[in-house]
Chain A
Amino acid sequence: MDPVHACFKEKIGEVLLPGDVFSFRLPESGDGSVKTDKIICGPGLRRNGEEVQVCKSGILRHKPPNMYWIDSQQRRYVPAKGESVIGIVTAKSGDIFKVDVGGSEQASLSYLAFEGATKRNRPNVQVGDLVYGQFTIANKDMEPELVCIDSCGRANGMGVFGADGLLFKLSLGLVRRLLAPQSEIVKDLEKIFPFELVVGMNGRVWVKSKTVQQTLIMTNVLETCENMTSQQRQTLFKRVAEGSL
């Protein structure tokens, strides 16, 4: 266990490039069974036999006890299982809807994957609607599939939403910062005015506020605060809050 974690530990917080390799010999005990803890490689790290290779450039992060991943920036979304995204319905064909999630392929969403949907009772989804759903299947070999219910059959806020409001695109890094627990950006945003926000992991964000002007202000603020330090952001938000009152 120790040699494994040790060779990761010295690189935590450092910038790594694709092609860097972590290799370690796992010590074998007398009876042949190797008693080591499992290591979980998050996004940016890949397993290659007994080695772990870096496949994205970024900073190595660690979450105890045993999770490691590369914190990198990109704008292009790659579907991953379990992530909640905002999709736009592009086509209705038979029993499924085709949903554009910003990936390389359109995802399919079955009409039975909504809460309370049966064969007779079809959900009210039109082309052009915004849908908030989770991926059940998302790998490079198959077409991704979305669902709008969880494993118990409850919607939990997923499904069609967005009667008004505005949908726009952000970079994936900013989206993750918005969704982090105790996010500072969100706490600063709260102070400006009341609004509603839906954040999809594919970089799409939907904002709704009381007036159109407020909605546009929120959009501009979110788009510009990506490359600001927290100080600059707070001064900007203060100016906006005073300006809008």
Chain B
Amino acid sequence: MAKDGAAKLSKNLLRMKFMQRGLDAELKKQLDEEEKRIISDEHWFLDLPELKAKENHIIEERSCVPCEDLVYGRMSFRGFNPEVEKLMLLMNTHKEEEEDEEEDDVSRMETDITDEEMARRYESLVESMRKKFAKKRNRSTVTKSEEDVNCNVVGDQPKKVFLKPQD
């Protein structure tokens, strides 16, 4: 291949990476900008004024269920089907709860065990946990402490400490 000089090389060849290693940073920037311009000129765009999406104040609703607050469709009366009766309560109170949410009611949650049972459980739980973590010497005092009518702890023996020998 005869060396004719840089003028004879094609544009695409000059744009290739290995030909640009010798260029300055400025020349590189210029070439980049030219390329971007060419590419963006090729992009198509609509020559329309900017349209704003209209906020719709009118909402269409096809179903009449929210309009008339219809209840759940499965019903059972006088204990014919107890499962369906449970479902009725569930679904209809669920619907009422959604309406009551705005009223800020602190309603009681449904519980499996009563509050008294829960309190009793916790009492015994605290005792057993305390025993577990008490040191061996203190374990007997933990179990033995009794309370009289006024909840004063009676029978608290003095804690056993190391007694230095007199001699």
Contacts and interface: CB of A to CB of B under 8 A. Distances in A.
Interface stretch (B58-66, B109-117, B142-150, B155-163): B58-66
B54 to A, nearest CB: 9
A209 interface: yes
Given A80-B62, A198-B75, A26 B70 contact: no
B87 interface: yes
Contacts of A52: 58
A43 B62 contact: yes
A82 B78 contact: no
Contacts of A84: 72-73
Given A81-B62, A198-B75, A179 B70 contact: yes
A40 B59 contact: yes
A196 B71 contact: no
Interface in B19-73: 55-73
B67 A42 contact: yes
B74 interface: yes
B79 interface: yes
B80 to A, nearest CB: 4
Contact of B69 (A34, A81, A139, A181): A181
A156 interface: yes
A40 B64 CA distance: 11
Of the candidates B66, B67, B72, the one having the most CB atoms from chain A within 10 angstroms of its own CB is B67
Interface in A144-198: 156-157, 161, 176, 179-181, 183, 186, 189-190, 193-198
A26 B55 CA distance: 12
A174 to B, nearest CB: 13
Nearest to B78: A194
B67 A63 contact: yes
B87 to A, nearest CB: 5
Contacts of B77: 189-190, 194-197
B75 A69 contact: no
Contact of A67 (B55, B67, B80, B84): B67
Contacts of B84: 157, 196
B62 A196 contact: no
B76 interface: yes
Given A43-B62, A83-B63, A194-B78, A176 B87 contact: no
Sorting the interface of chain A by its residue count into under 10, 10 to 19, 20 to 34 or 35 or more gives 35 or more
A132 B84 CA distance: 13
A199 B75 contact: yes
A42 B78 contact: no
A154 to B, nearest CB: 10
A43 B75 contact: no
B59 A176 contact: no
B65 A186 contact: no
Interface string A39-73: 11111011100101000000001010001010000
Given A189-B77, A195-B80, A199-B75, A41 B59 contact: yes
B166 interface: no
Contact of B60 (A46, A50, A198): A46
Contacts of A161: 74
Contacts of B57: 4, 26, 34, 36-39
B58 A38 contact: yes
Given A157-B87, A196-B84, A209-B80, A82 B60 contact: no
Contacts of B56: 38, 47
Interface string B124-163: 0000000000000000000000000000000000000000
Ranked 3 nearest A-B pairs via Cβ:
A194-B78, A80-B63, A179-B70
11 contacts: A38-B56, A81-B63, A82-B63, A156-B91, A157-B87, A179-B70, A181-B70, A190-B77, A196-B84, A197-B76, A201-B73
